[in-house]
Chains A and B, each alone.
Chain A
């Protein structure tokens, strides 16, 4: 297991570890559409996780609204490629609820095709591993800061 891969919800850990190894991605977040992080790989600073999660959640929300205005189903995946780095953001529905995966990859070690291919496996594995018959815990505004701190401590092994 990569020491840089950590999970708040342990059922996400093995599928995420496999995805990171097979797709050769540099950074990954598994999160809810509201920005709650379930697992991360490759991040070294809590502030980066918070920023990436907030931005990914915003993209999921804005593209979801765009699809709604176009009277379409929400977009399944979004890909953005720069000269050296690409990112891939996709959502799927599991027992745990809708989950989003944000993956950042370097073009000299991976590709969109590889990330798409192994993302499908990741989504399938997470659907199988997702706890059945449980209602996701709601985070109250009053508890938000403590929950966030606890999650970040878990994600960075503190």
Chain B
């Protein structure tokens, strides 16, 4: 799992990556820079993933493959899978396409 997260954290501008249990919002594995509250990010990301899944089900779009929340001082990028989420916390100017690619690769290896 550590090698899986390496795929994501080696991208320039990524401040941390986590595998999160989607059902209970607990951290399964993490590689985070200091100052990132891993358990809080995990719990809230899993909660958000559950609500998004229901919203997308209701909209008839099928499940999410990737989501990206952009904020002033950073971004949260998530690939939801069955049972696990692969989460990255990144700088605002990170190469989103590259992080997305590595998140999807990481998800393939663990989900």
Contact = CB atoms under 8 A, between A and B. Distances in A.
**Which of B24, B25, B26: most chain A Cβ within 10 A?**
B24
A31 B46 CA distance: 29
B23 A111 contact: yes
Interface stretch (A68-76, A113-121, A134-142): A113-121
Interface residues of A, number: 11
Contact of B26 (A108, A110, A112): A112
The majority secondary structure among interface residues of chain A is mixed
Interface string A23-41: 0000000000000000000
Interface residues of B, number: 14
Contacts of A108: 50
B44 interface: yes
A117 B41 CA distance: 10
Interface of B: 20-21, 23-26, 39-40, 42-44, 46-47, 50
A116 B44 CA distance: 11
The majority secondary structure among interface residues of chain B is helix
Contacts of A117: 25, 39-40, 43-44
A108 B50 CA distance: 8
Contacts of B46: 111, 113-114
A107 interface: yes
A-B residue pairs, 8 tightest by C-beta: A113-B25, A113-B43, A111-B25, A112-B24, A117-B43, A114-B43, A111-B24, A113-B26
A81 interface: yes
Contacts of A111: 23-25, 43, 46-47, 50
Contacts of B23: 107, 111
A79 to B, nearest CB: 9
A110 B47 contact: yes
Given A113-B43, A117-B40, 14 more contacts: A86-B24, A107-B23, A108-B50, A110-B47, A111-B24, A111-B47, A111-B50, A112-B24, A112-B25, A112-B26, A113-B39, A113-B47, A114-B25, A114-B44
